Every structure is written in structure tokens, then in C-alpha cells.
Amino acid sequence: MQLVVNSLIYKLSTDIAKIVSEIKESVVTIITEVPHVLSLFGYKELTGVGSGFIIEPGLIITNAHVVRGAARVIILYHDGVSEEAEVIALDPYRDLALLRIDRNIKAASLGDSDSINVGEIVLAIGSPLGLPGPSVTLGVVSAVGRTIIGENVILEDLIQTDAAINPGNSGGPLVNAEGKVVGITTAIIPYAQGIGFAIPINSAKRFIEMLKLFGRPVRAWIGVYVAPVTPQVAYAIGSTVSEGVMVVRVVPGSPAHRVKIREGDVIVKANERRVRSVKDLRLAIEESIDKGYVELEIYRGRSLMRLKVPIVVEEL
């Protein structure tokens, strides 16, 4: 029995080492120089550190908060070579940024974040604490579809993992057991133990798709932040609806606010299609840009409402 266990552990270890070996060339350290104003002595440059990875030839994806406000962005590759990158797109609402580089480095293999399951083994790869990367931590997918509310941002549809994510890991890939990127690590809750989050890779794919479609980063929104409804959530809030997305915040003055959508409302359909996740609602809104509004079916308690909600499209 012990021999079998040792054999399984050895195989797992060698498989993980192989995955890291194959993806490490695509993972980069990002060093930023951000001007900081001093009240009496002008300003000085503050240095920040994050992670990123090659998503397409010549393009690096990372978190928006890693490069926001940077005067210079330096990319450090796994072999010690460095170059300056250009920030070509930044979406603070998805916490994603796209950088252009000159060096020809192979792109990471991308997976399908819609197919991940709770309990899957994942690796968080990046440059924690500003140390040269890549560094690797191992964990599992703890939950999917999470919404977290920070001081200045609300992020939806996140992957939760117990893989250790430290300062400097932000923007690095979350990789599954097949060696495919399923997420982009983005946050760690300072008051919790062993909880980290990642943006689903399909959100990054959609970000790039929208950029190619409109030629610039845009945000299509109606002014709500939502979280998935599960039978457990439905029971907790006393709802008769066990599938959909629940409105957790309505932005004052937004289209949703003007049509009187409220916190606690459950959106069950958008444009006659069922809404089971944050992604479903976002996709319906983005597909309705040309029409100018999205049709929603919403439960408030036991009452069903049908609303046409105008869409606001903002250039970021």
C-alpha cells in the first residue's frame, strides 16, 4: 500500500514539475515606476512589482492595478532579459490590462474557465514579494462565481482558491492539472487565512475580443453588481427562485437605478435566455450594445417583472 502511495506522489510531483517547466517561459515579472508627489521636494519614482504572462504573441496580460498610473513598465523574463512594455488597454472594472512587447515569446496555453470544478488542483505562478520568478504554489479551486467588494472596486465571477497568493503574484496565471491557464490571480483578502482569487480566463478572452471589436477598451453596463444564486443562497434570503443572479449593489443614477432595480432582486433571464452566472448577464449586455437596451426578467420576492434596461457604453 505504501509503495502505491509513494508511486502516486512521485507521479504527481513529476507532473507538476513538467507543467511548470512548460509554462515558465510565458510567465513574466512586471516592474513599474509610478511617480509619487512629495509636498516639498517635487516627486520621486516608486517601484511596484507584479506578474503577468504571454496571452498572444507580442501581448502580455496582467491586472489593471499592477500597471495603473505607471510612467514606465519593465518586463523581466525568466532568462533575465528585460525590456520596456507599452500599456495598450486597461479595464479597471475587470481588473485586466494588456501590454505590448517586442520580444517573441511563446504564449501560455489557455483553458476554459467555464469547465473548472470545485476541488480541482491548481497552481498559482508568479513573482511573490518581488522575488525573481516564476515561483509556484499548489492548491485547489475552493469555489467559483465569487463576488468580492473592495474599497475601490467590485469584482464579479471570480475563482476562489487556497493556493497561496502573495504580493507580487497579482497578474500571474492560475494553471490547471493539464497545464492550461484557467485564471489570472488578482486579490488576496488581508483579513482572511489562505483565501485568494483569480479572474476567469474566459473573461480575459472576452476583454481581448471586445478590444478587437471596438478598437479600444469599452465598458458596456447597466449599473448592477451581481452574484450567482444557489439553492443555499435562495434558502438564506428566503427566495423562491433557486437559479439566477442576485443584485448585490445598484449604482446610483445608473440605468438600473432609474428603472428601479433594487438590491436583492434576482435576474433570471436576459433577452429571453436563462441567466445562471455573472458571465451570462455580462454577455447578454455586451451582445445588446447595438440595440441600446437589454430585456430582463427579474423576481422581487414572488413577483416577476419584465424590464427594458438602457445600456451605457463607456470608453475606458
Contact 163, 196 (CB under 8 A): yes
HSE at residue 274, side-chain half, CA atoms within 13 A, is: 7
- Pairwise CA distance, residues 175 & 161, whole Å: 11
Q: Is 65 a catalytic residue?
A: yes
Strand, coil or helix: what is 174? strand
* Of the candidates 274, 176, 281, the residue with the CA atom closest to the CA atom of residue 222: 281
Of the residues 65, 113, 265, 280, which is catalytic?
65
Q: Is 239 a catalytic residue?
A: no
Question: What's the residue count for the chain?
Answer: 316
Of the residues 26, 51, 142, 170, which is catalytic?
170
Strand, coil or helix: what is 65? helix
Of the residues 95, 157, 265, 280, which is catalytic?
95
Instruction: Give catalytic residue positions.
Output: 65, 95, 170
